[in-house]
Homo-oligomer: A and B are copies of this chain.
């Protein structure tokens, strides 16, 4: 069971999933544009993630290199599962149905998904 990751922490994870290891400053630089967090905030989030053992730290002189300990796929799988369980009774079909009805699916999306499903069966 992957520990719960908050929204802000998730932003940090995305950065580390894209490239790792990174130092706190490097992570801060990479989220600065999108979120405008201070370096301190980023450090706090990194500490919390490390405390949860979701990322690992490796000492590099006087600073740390941070790397994910959880695969993005594994994390997404867990979160998706929880989401589908909680809101759609664990069934994916109603979710897709819902997205479709809410016009969240373009014709292109539909074609893509059909293609995907065709491959799955093969």
Contact = CB atoms under 8 A, between A and B. Distances in A.
Interface in A91-122: 91-93, 95-102, 104-105, 107, 109-110, 112-114, 116-117, 120-121
Contacts of A33: none
Main secondary structure of the interface of A (DSSP, over half): helix
A7 interface: yes
Q: Please tell me how many copies of the chain the complex holds.
A: 2
A7 B4 CA distance: 13
Interface stretch (A22-30, A40-48, A61-69, A73-81): A73-81
Given A80-B102, A92-B109, A102-B80, A86 B7 contact: yes
Given A81-B104, A92-B96, A96-B113, 13 more contacts: A10-B86, A76-B102, A77-B104, A80-B98, A80-B104, A84-B99, A92-B109, A97-B116, A100-B117, A105-B120, A107-B121, A113-B117, A114-B114
